[in-house]
Structure 1
Amino acid sequence: MAKLRRVVPFVDPGYTRVRVGEGHQFVNARGKRVGAKDDVRIRALVIPPAWTDVWISARPDGHIQVVGTDAAGRKQYMYHPTWSEDRDKGKFARALDLAASLPRARARVTQALRTEGLSRERVLGVAFRLLDQAAPRVGSTAYLKANGSRGLTTLQRRDAEVDGSTVILSFPAKSGKRALLRIDDPLLAEAVAELKAGRPTAPLLAYRRKRSRVALSAGDVNAHLRALTGGPFTAKDFRTLRGTVSAADALARIGTVDTKKDLARAEKLAVRATADALGNTPSVARASYIDPRVFTEYRKGNVMSLEGSRDAAIRALILGDAADRPATADDRARSRRRRRSTVKR
């Protein structure tokens, strides 16, 4: 794997772009056009035309290649392909580690949900159970203010309904879509029924402290997740795990096929199922949330078992014999060292 240089945008040497007619020119800090070789490299990056305040690494081996601000005012990054590939490997490995840690975490959450009142521990248990069962985005006040989209920690009481043992969440999600999630769970339903009582626009996930209610933050949820599992996980890892399991589940239900045409069709259906489960486009679902090893195994004629725990089954499909041994602290340390070895200063 190629060695990369860690670069600091807007500090290390870089280029920018200036409008020329209907296109752009790329210039250095002195305003001179970049050389032909750099011009070809930069154009191949296909920087979105709408980005402003663009910084482009002067180094072809920089781990960050481009930084810019999109039309919504958000800072965006384009990474070197080697860096992105290594980061994705770590992301999918972490999702499988999460799967191994879930049985014990779920048992502790069930105990918390069986308690009475709206204690912090019980409300954190609700957040965990919603992530575990439906994998919504964790949400942030910044996204809520910028475009009105909500996630787990910014849900309002009016976004939740309880029908017997079923919790129904309906709320404005990312990219103008409306999310609709249904979770059948008696303990969860009982807790959500208590949480949603009161002012409709107040935060749903808010625990009681003396006479007031305190809303959970994304930081609270992620810290609780790490405490429960003992691993370096965040709420987003649930989406990666759910995406991977959704694709594997769809392929297992289709069954093995023989022709290239049928393989392509099956994979397309699996990606669509994942996109529907996560509320993403198919292209985002495939690129960001499905472990590519699911498709590798499918092409070999291997599918995930539909019996028993999906968490154990997805590990068995991808890891084989190693699935029986949960990742240890030493394993995670070795993984971090491997990731660091691809980047040098």
Structure 2
Amino acid sequence: MPGLTRARHGSSFRYRDAKGQWVRDVDEISRIRLLAIPPAYTDVWICPLPNGHLQATGIDARGRKQYRYHAEWRLLKDETKFERLELFGRALPKIRARVARDLREGAREALPGRATVLATLVRLLDVTFLRVGNEEYASSNRSYGLTTLRTRHVDVRGASLKLRFRGKSGVLHEARVDDRKVTRVIRRCQQLPGQELFQYQDSEGELRTVSSTDVNDYLREAAGENFSAKDFRTWHGTVQALELTRLACSSDSVGESAGPRFSAKEILTTVAKQLGNTPAVCKKAYIHPAVLALGAKLAADSGAMTEIWKELTAATASVRRLHSAEARLLTFLRRHRLDARRAQKAVAANSRRLRAAAK
């Protein structure tokens, strides 16, 4: 779509429409300024429609295309993103079974094969909550994730290993993993030539590295659904948030005269530390908003605690390859979805009654 462009004018900018005319409408200029497009961006395109889902694009100082979306579109995308979480929880046992099988079969290989290396990476995603990594960031920023780790980033001792590296935004990540199968694969990877840790030998004997795309393809194949490595961080962030809420609202943490010691700020801070994020990013991207809403509700109505936790705990023993905390979250997400559906139906029914009464 032809859009608006901008041109520097002293210390600020002026804007032209698709016909080359200067934009003079005060409201339109105000809308553009509220997009907060960084001054350093070049090749800026601005949507001519105030309700367009993509409001602006530009090229940043590193040559990457950046996007500014409409606020309501972002809210819709965030809601859709969290709707996937229940589906991911249901698929997780299937993913873990595939990983276990590939690690078991890989134990017979002299050198790690592709499936073995990818299974190892997915196991690490699942137990460390670390980012999957991106080669562009590794090359330009020297910031790493799992797929871009170098051999120097891991220390293997016996059946344990320790990861230590700088990740996104320069955050230092440290993780210890006690997993004999994973340690065996990584020890063999370390013996291969080159700095990259995760490599495999193809059918022609050539060494190949793996990328985040390879990991996501593996996940899609294992789950039969379109999941990505980021879903692990969202899942585990939300699991932790629900467990912290449960502990804060448990009978042991509630005094005789006080209500539950629920603090959304404390929960966000704790989960953010585990994920290597800020609390703000954690709240926006990694914790289902319904979990924080639950904590606020229980803090105001401690009498509802027993009933809710009893319902969430009832199904924990029946879900294989999920921990108890994960099974509680899966039950909670299903409950939340059904409650939301009932609420939508009630609103629709009420709207029909009002329209009928108006006639």
Q: TM-score when scaled to structure 1?
A: 0.81
1:29-57 Cα deviation digits (max 9, x unpaired): 41512411211212222223333322111
The structure-2 alpha-carbon separation of the partners of 1:322 and 1:58, relative to structure 1 and needing over 3 Å to count, comes to: closer
Q: 2:272 aligns with which of 272, 275, 287?
A: 275
Gaps of 5+ in 2: 299-304, 317-322, 339-359
1:295 aligns with 2:305: no
- 2:198 corresponds to: 205
Q: Superposition RMSD on alpha carbons, in Å?
A: 2.6
1:34 and 1:228 mapped to 2: Cα distance? 55
Mapped contact 2:233–2:275 kept (Cα < 8 A):
yes
Q: How many residues end up aligned between the 2 structures?
A: 309
Unpaired segments ≥5 residues, structure 1: 1-11, 324-345
Alignment partner of 1:247 is 2:241: yes
Counterpart of 1:81 (choices 67, 71, 87) is: 71
Q: What is the identity percentage for the equivalent residue pairs of Structure 1 and Structure 2?
A: 36
| 3-state DSSP of counterpart to 1:269 | helix
- Cα displacement string for residues 53-72 of structure 1 (whole angstroms, at most 9, x for unaligned residues): 22111001111011122333
For 1:239, the aligned partner's letter is R
* Distance in 2 (alpha carbons) for counterparts of 1:222 and 1:255: 37
Q: Which residue of 1 aligns with 2:23?
A: 33
Q: Counterpart of 1:273 in structure 2: which amino acid?
A: T
1:229 deviates by: 0.6
Alignment of 1:175-186 (within 5 A): 175-186=169-180
| Structure-2 separation of matches of 1:270 and 1:319 | 22
Spell out, residue by residue over 1:289-342, the C-alpha distance to the aligned partner (whole angstroms, 9 max, x if none).
11111111112216876874332211222322869xxxxxxxxxxxxxxxxxxx
SS of the residue corresponding to residue 242 of structure 1 reads helix
Residue of structure 1 in register with 2:354 after alignment: none
Tell me the alpha carbon deviations over residues 212-241 of structure 1, each in whole angstroms, 9 at most, x when there is no partner.
Answer: 321112221111101111111011111221
- Alpha carbons of 1:279 and 1:73: their partners in 2 closer, same or farther (altered >3 Å)? farther
The answer to whether structure 1 residue 226 and structure 2 residue 216 are counterparts is no
Instruction: Quote the offset at 1:19 in angstroms.
Output: 2.5
Structure 1 residue matching 2:55: 3-state secondary structure: strand
The match for 2:50 among 37, 52, 60 is 60
Give TM-score scaled by structure 2 length: 0.78
Q: Which has the higher contact order (CA 8 A, sep 6+)?
A: 1
Deviations 1:226-262 (A, max 9, x none): 1111111011111221222222233223226798996
CA distance in 1, matches of 2:84, 2:149: 27
User: Within 5 Å, which residues of 2 pair with 1:62-141?
Assistant: 62-115=52-105, 116-117=108-109, 118-141=112-135
C-alpha distance 259-14 of structure 1, shift in aligned 2 (>3 A) = farther
Structure 1 residues 86 and 189: CA distance shift in structure 2, 3 A: same
Residue type matched to 2:26 in 1? Answer: A
Give the drift of 1:268: 0.9
Q: Distance in 2 between matches of 1:16 and 1:49?
A: 13
SS in 1 for 2:4: strand
Aligned twin of 1:318: 333
Q: CA separation in 1, counterparts of 2:196 and 2:58?
A: 33
In 2, Cα distance between the equivalents of 1:101 and 1:191? 25
CA distance in 2, matches of 1:261, 1:49: 47
State the partner residue of 1:284: 281
Cα pair 1:158 1:196 within 8 Å, conserved: no
- Return the match for 1:309 from 320, 324, 333: 324
| 2:75 match: secondary structure | helix
2-side partners of 1:278 and 1:15: how far apart?
39
Structure 1 pair 53–261 and aligned structure 2 pair: CA distance change class (3 A): farther
Distance 2:150 2:278 in 1: 25
The reply to whether residue 170 of structure 1 matches residue 160 of structure 2 is no
Specify the alignment match of 2:4 in structure 1: 15
Deviation digits for residues 73-100 of structure 1 (CA, Å, limit 9, x no counterpart): 3221111122212211221121221111
**SS at 1:104 equivalent:** helix
Aligned-pair CA distance for 1:111: 1.9
Question: Which residue type is aligned with residue 200 of structure 2?
Answer: Y
Work out whether residues 297 and 318 of structure 1, in 8 Å CA contact, stay in contact via their aligned partners in 2.
no
